[in-house]
């Protein structure tokens, strides 16, 4: 049976309950290195990824002469602060998310990819700390591309290459308005996770994989899990 459905998942707020921790550590790192404050409304940025926000801040404040150095130092400080926060506070998966990933690995008509606006190193750190096992799952991040839509498109390309199949459906699971907009720009289906986005296809959590598959019209759930 050829796989036809690509489930592509965001990390912060979708798989991992890490939005507040991530925002705080990221903002603190930028301020520590540059003295610049990051607005709470990230929707004002052209590219709302870790790399995109830093790029725009550097350009806006005329710091281009130190761009490479600033990028490297902000990433280092952010990674350090995030590691400390995870050690001190822990980080939890979104309800049912770890089990959902494991179950989807056994559904023949589904393949998985992770596409995040964060850096690969910090995203993998959060996923590991939250109990996810993602070996063998296609992964893309802002370490690869600046914009969210480019990160998602790259994940789809890598999935096609790595899994050796043609996907009839590409379905992105995300918790934010920008996830929905990026999905629409790529003509991907979108599943809103949580209650931050108004959308016709929405799940509160991942605790009922059968219901999620049913909502997406993917059948033979029991047989595929057997």
Query: Which pLDDT does position 225 carry in this prediction?
Result: 44
Query: Which pLDDT does position 223 carry in this prediction?
Result: 46
Residues of the chain short of pLDDT 70, as ranges, are 1-3, 42-43, 220-226
pLDDT tens per residue, range 83-129: 999 999 999 999 999 999 999 999 999 999 999 999 999 999 999 99
Query: Which pLDDT does position 224 carry in this prediction?
Result: 44
Q: Which of 172, 173, 206, 11 is nearest to 103 (CA)?
A: 206
**The pTM is what?**
0.92
- One CATH from 3.30.420.40, 3.40.50.1000, 1.10.8.420, 3.20.20.140 for 5-16+92-225: 3.40.50.1000
Q: How far is CA 163 from CA 35, 55, 64, 123, in A?
A: 44, 33, 40, 22
User: In the chain, what are the domain boundaries?
Assistant: 5-16+92-225, 19-89
């Amino acid at each position: 049976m050829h796989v036809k459905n690509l489930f592509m998942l965001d990390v912060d707020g979708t798989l991992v309950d890490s939005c507040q921790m991530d925002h705080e550590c990221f903002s603190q790192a930028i301020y520590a290195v540059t003295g610049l404050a990051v607005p709470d409304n990230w929707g004002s940025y052209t590219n709302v990824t870790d790399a995109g926000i830093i790029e725009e801040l550097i350009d806006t404040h005329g710091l281009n002469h130190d761009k490479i150095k600033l990028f490297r130092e902000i990433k280092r400080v952010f990674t350090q602060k995030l590691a400390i926060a995870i050690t001190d506070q822990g980080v939890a998966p979104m309800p049912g998310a770890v089990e959902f990933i494991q179950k989807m690995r056994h559904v023949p008509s589904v393949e998985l990819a992770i596409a995040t606006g964060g850096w690969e190193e910090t995203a993998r750190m959060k996923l590991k700390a939250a109990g996810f096992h993602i070996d063998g799952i296609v992964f893309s991040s802002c370490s690869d591309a600046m914009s969210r839509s480019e990160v998602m498109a790259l994940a789809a390309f890598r999935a096609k290459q790595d899994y050796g199949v043609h996907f009839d459906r590409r379905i992105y699971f995300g918790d934010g308005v920008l996830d929905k907009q990026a999905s629409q720009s790529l003509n991907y289906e979108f599943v809103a996770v949580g209650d931050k986005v108004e959308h016709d296809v929405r799940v509160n959590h991942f605790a009922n994989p059968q219901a999620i598959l049913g909502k997406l019209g993917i059948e033979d759930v029991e047989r595929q899990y057997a």
